[in-house]
Amino acid sequence: MKVTLISQYYPPEQGAVRYSWHLAKGMAARGHEITVIAGLPHFPTGKPLAAFGRFLPKIRVEDSVRVIRTPLVMGSNTQSLRRVFGFMSFSISALLWAVLGPRPEIIIASVPPATSAMSAAIASWIRGCPFIVILRDIEPWRALKMRGWDRRACGRVFVGLFLWIYRRARQIVVMHEREVPYLREQGVVPGRIKVVPHGVDFAHPPCPDNPSPQIPRRPGRSVFLYAGTIGLVHGLPQFLEAMAEPRVRRLPIDIVIIGDGQYKPECSRIVEAHGLENVSLFPAIPPEQVAGALEKADVLVCSFRNGDDIPLCSKFYEYCSVGKPILVYGTNLAGDVVRQIGNGVSCPADDAESLLDALSNLLTNPEEWRRRGLEGRAYAQEHFSQVQRDEQWAQILGSEG
């Protein structure tokens, strides 16, 4: 089957790129003819990668996938207005490539950003083929809700527009069952909703021997590591404020944060203001180096704001796959899952007493938690395998053939 996948972000870019990347590789390996339309790599710094440039499209074959990288307005994750123009400009350029290139049998849009779904919908109408929407997050509804804009008139109009587009998709693929009720309430036919979560490629795992940052380790202390985007939903400033509480601060813990994002400057300010000598901030690293960094930690941290009802991200699945115990800070689906698996603990954000209890629990019996971390890896191999995800996608595309 000839498939066009519209995904604004794609490796070697950083951020939420793994789902589209795994999907494209997996379907190409099963004999489908996959074309990915992506933006020229620049995220999260806003600066073009030297190997791709800023203005001219680049077409390459990567892992048997034809990847077309198109020009767009480039903005860093701290330049909100430029990112909005980036979404709009990519939507236009992706539409042109989808309409003027060889006719696909199906078009898939990876959301966010939601504008990718608009390109897919228009292109599918012009080319006379169905389209599928991957909702890694229900945008723009969730982004507006987190900022309190979902009840404003303009916000309701904006959300309504994209829900109208989603209802016309042949299939909507979401990351978790939790997303299904909302879509049903918005008029999406239940039979068109499929749940296909993130997966971990255990067959070809990232090599932990790849160079990674020198993780600070002091005698008699445990390393708690966060690796990922530092954005609004991740609540890292709140986490660091809680770590500055005197009783928590006295625990033998060193915090390592690897990543970039809109709230990293705020994290740096908190570290400096409180003199948190046990906190180290590193820039983002390439995906192939992440496994090596995670292997050097004792505990992996998933941090969220309370009340943000977001699905599980690829970072959570990767954490489970390396066999380390997990601390979930903030009320979130991730906390429910680690309690179910037994490979971690969770606590509400902005509750220093609960955080103290959770950290003390993890420090009390490190051997027991190492064992539980390995059980988490075994669970991930059974339930989060990318092979399973590829099979689910093969069935979806097979039903469209």
pLDDT by residue (tens digit) across 119-144? 999 999 999 999 999 998 888 777 77
Percent of the chain clearing pLDDT 70 (strictly above): 93
pLDDT of residue 193: 94
Residue with token string 């870019």: 13
pLDDT of residue 400: 66
Name the least confident of 5-9, 252-256, 284-288, 309-313: 309-313
- Same structural domain, 127 and 227: no
- Same structural domain, 12 and 161: yes
Averaged pLDDT, 378-397? 91
Which is higher by pLDDT, 304 or 298?
Answer: 298
pLDDT of residue 337: 87
Contacts of 260 by beta carbon, 8 Å cutoff, 6+ apart: 14, 44, 45, 77, 229, 230, 283, 284
pLDDT beyond 90 at 211? no
If phi > 0 it is left, if psi is from -120 to 50 it is alpha, else beta; for residue 31 that is left
Which is higher by pLDDT, 259 or 91?
Answer: 91
Indicate whether 266 belongs to any domain.
Answer: yes
pLDDT beyond 70 at 308? no
Averaged pLDDT, 298-305? 87
pLDDT beyond 80 at 204? no
pLDDT beyond 70 at 210? no
- Same structural domain, 38 and 124: yes
- Same structural domain, 230 and 284: yes
Give the residue from 390, 389, 400 showing the smallest Cα distance to 107. Answer: 400
- Same structural domain, 175 and 244: no
pLDDT of residue 26: 92
Averaged pLDDT, 352-381? 91
As a whole number, the mean pLDDT across the chain is: 87
- Same structural domain, 178 and 264: no
Q: How many domains does the chain have?
A: 2
Name the least confident of 206-210, 242-246, 276-280: 206-210
Averaged pLDDT, 261-276? 91
Q: Which CATH number goes with the domain that contains 251?
A: 3.40.50.2000
Name the least confident of 50-64, 148-162, 279-293: 148-162
- Same structural domain, 372 and 389: no
**Nearest-angstrom CA–CA distance, 334 and 40:** 32
DSSP 1-48: -EEEEE-S--TTS-SS-HHHHHHHHHHHHTT-EEEEEEEPS-TTTTS-
pLDDT of residue 335: 83
- Same structural domain, 292 and 183: no
DSSP3 helix / strand / coil % (the chain, rounded to 5)? 45, 20, 40
As a whole number of angstroms, the longest Cα–Cα distance in the chain is: 64
**Nearest-angstrom CA–CA distance, 308 and 286:** 27
Angle (deg, nearest 10), helices 287-295 and 314-321: 50
Name the least confident of 73-77, 159-163, 197-201, 303-307: 303-307
Residue with token string 């390396």: 322
Over the stretch 99-114, which tens digit does the pLDDT of each residue have?
Answer: 999 999 999 999 989 9
Q: What angle do CA 41, 44, 50 make, to 5 degrees?
A: 40
pLDDT of residue 274: 94
Averaged pLDDT, 342-350? 88
Q: How confident is the model at residue 206 (pLDDT cuts 50, 70, 90)?
A: low
Name the least confident of 129-133, 238-242, 311-315, 336-340: 311-315
Which is higher by pLDDT, 156 or 191?
Answer: 191
pLDDT beyond 90 at 251? yes
**Phi, psi at 254, each rounded to 5°:** -110, 130
- Same structural domain, 38 and 140: yes
Averaged pLDDT, 167-196? 91
Domain hosting residue 184, numbered range = 2-199+385-400
